[in-house]
Amino acid sequence: MTLPILLLSSMIHACLSESYTLTYHHTYLEASKPEFFADSYLNDIPFYWYDSSSRWLEPLAPWRRKMATPKIWYNLNTELQKHQEQMKAISPAGNATVQYIHGCTASANGSVEGFFQIALSGIEILRFDTGSGTFSSEIEVGAVRKMLEALNSNRTLNQRRKEALDVTCGKDIHFLLTYANASVHRKAEPMVIVSEIISNSTVALDCRAYGHYPRDIAMTWIRNGRAVPERQLPRLTLPLTDGTYLSRVLVDVTSGPEDIYTCEVTHSSLKTPLTAQWMKSRLTGSSYGAVTGGLSSGTVIALTLTGVLFVTVAVFGILVWERERRARMRGSVFNNDSSS
């Protein structure tokens, strides 16, 4: 479970070609087993896992094993055990979920923005402002107010926290990239699938980009050469079990029988955008798709199907991903290279 939810040296500025986020999640829940677990991500790549059942920090990425000595791993392990006790003290009667999320985002312009939030039972209770070096809260009564006053009374510790989030964290990102460069910068081209979904008297077109990495992708529907307004395009992006993503964007078909719809997909893995047209013949009433982005190295598939098959496939993919994620949270699944 994770929380539902700025300058560095010229060396870092010169080396970053895009933004990177280093995030740490810590969760305490006495009613669960394990009662405490923690993980860390560089962008969307996990690189360690810890839980109170094994009481040992486990590197998840092969490159992570090579970048630290056993002593460093031991020290990190010890710190996480301390965090468990601190979070237990925050939990009322030890039976509420306590969550920390902290880290930073290093941007291509050289700036670093740190963040640190604390939540109780899914509700944010404290947030650290790296500008002022103080905690704030929208809940200013009871135990939360006392905690806020206690945290802000230690200016020395808050200054160290500010430096850790705005300076040290950014340097950590730069350091991690020297090991994780291939993983972070890998590219996977999407396979684009266009389908017609018929429900009662309504018709919608569904454009899906399957298997793309990184996550960011631009997808839009164009009707007769004009882009459909963004507010009319429901969209969704989901993680897949192989570390890539599935994105989809839908549009309702409300116009004439010979209108041409085109789904356009732009992604960093593609040299040119992928486009797929969808149209209905006035003579036959049948629908068909045509690939119009032939210069792209990606793949476009145009299909005429009802929504049943695609909903089934999507639900199955989500359930598989969720099952593996839950198993990993219990400490039973680690995607490691045992040879590292």
The 3-state secondary structure of the chain, one letter per residue: CCCCCCCCCHHHHHHCCCCEEEEEEEEECCCCCCCEEEEEEECCEEEEEEECCCCCCEECCHHHHHCCCHHHHHHHHHHHHHHHHHHHHHCHHHCCCEEEEEEEEECCCCCEEEEEEEEECCEEEEEEECCCCEEECCCCCHHHHHHHHHHHHCHHHHHHHHHHHHHHHHHHHHHHHHHHHHHHCCCECCEEEEEEEEECCEEEEEEEEEEEECCCCEEEEEECCEECCHHHCCEEEEECCCCCEEEEEEEECCCCCCCEEEEEEECCCCCCCEEEEEEECCCCCCEEEEECCCCCCCEEEECCCCHHHHHHHHHHHHHHHHHHHHHHHCCCCCCCCCCC
Question: Which tens digits make up the pLDDT trace of 239-269?
Answer: 888 889 999 999 988 766 678 899 999 999 9
pLDDT band at 23 (very low <50, low <70, confident <90, very high): very high
pLDDT at 104: 95
Q: Which domains does the chain have, with CATH numbers?
A: 10-184 (3.30.500.10), 191-326 (2.60.40.10)
Mean pLDDT (the chain) is: 76
Q: Which residue has the higher pLDDT, 170 or 287?
A: 170
Question: Which tens digits make up the pLDDT trace of 213-243?
Answer: 988 899 999 988 899 888 888 889 998 888 8
Question: Which tens digits make up the pLDDT trace of 104-135?
Answer: 999 888 899 999 999 988 889 999 999 999 99
